[in-house]
Amino acid sequence: MTIGFIISGIGYVYGENLPDRIERFETSDELGIEYNISGAQITDIFLSRESNSVLISIDATHPGSLVITFPREVIDATIDGMDESFFILVDGEEVDYTETKTDIDRTLTIEFLTGTQEIEVVGTFAVPEFGTLTILILVIAIVSAIAILSQSKLSTINAISK
């Protein structure tokens, strides 16, 4: 099975047999990542909530660099509200990177060598599994269920006591 999606209209990315722990995004509006790559082509990109990371598979035919902008609501590296460094792995080895930050996104420049196959950006947060609206609906449903059960118990107790 092949899953395809466009990330910010910059490049077309696809994947085959993606693991369930990886979130698949179908449109640029859902993920909002922008990138520019030299010396390689991106072949797959996935967001892993399990490891708070973005996994980027590339085919590096030459040494090059990846400049990638992540909206903070997609992935971020913070502790107690303060920015922290991302943990960047290129083919499993930690590498240095440069970064520019704004209040809404973080742009990383990551260098790689010919033959590189995977870049992983690890943060402290990756898109929450449940959005605010989903949590609100869940809370309302639980409160409603409790209220209905409480009413049922009162009705049963009143019927027994009569």
Are 106 and 71 within one domain? yes
Whole-angstrom distance, CA of residue 151 vs CA of residue 159: 12
Per-residue model confidence as pLDDT tens for the chain (162 residues): 233 333 333 333 333 333 333 444 443 345 678 889 999 998 888 888 778 888 899 999 999 999 999 888 888 898 888 899 999 999 999 999 999 999 999 999 999 999 999 999 998 866 554 455 555 666 777 777 777 777 766 566 666 666
Are 145 and 100 within one domain? no
The vertex-43 CA angle with 40 and 48, nearest 5°, equals 120
Whole-angstrom distance, CA of residue 161 vs CA of residue 154: 10
Are 143 and 102 within one domain? no
CA 46 from centre of chain? 8
pLDDT recorded at residue 2: 31
Are 63 and 110 within one domain? yes
Which range marks the domain in which residue 32 is found?
Answer: 2-129
Q: State which amino acid sits at residue 13.
A: V
Strands 53-71 and 105-112 turn out to be antiparallel
Q: Output DSSP code: residue 140.
A: H
Are 69 and 144 within one domain? no
Are 62 and 136 within one domain? no
Question: Which pTM value belongs to this model?
Answer: 0.63
Asked if 120 and 88 touch (Cβ cutoff 8 Å), the reply is: yes
Structural domain total, the chain: 2
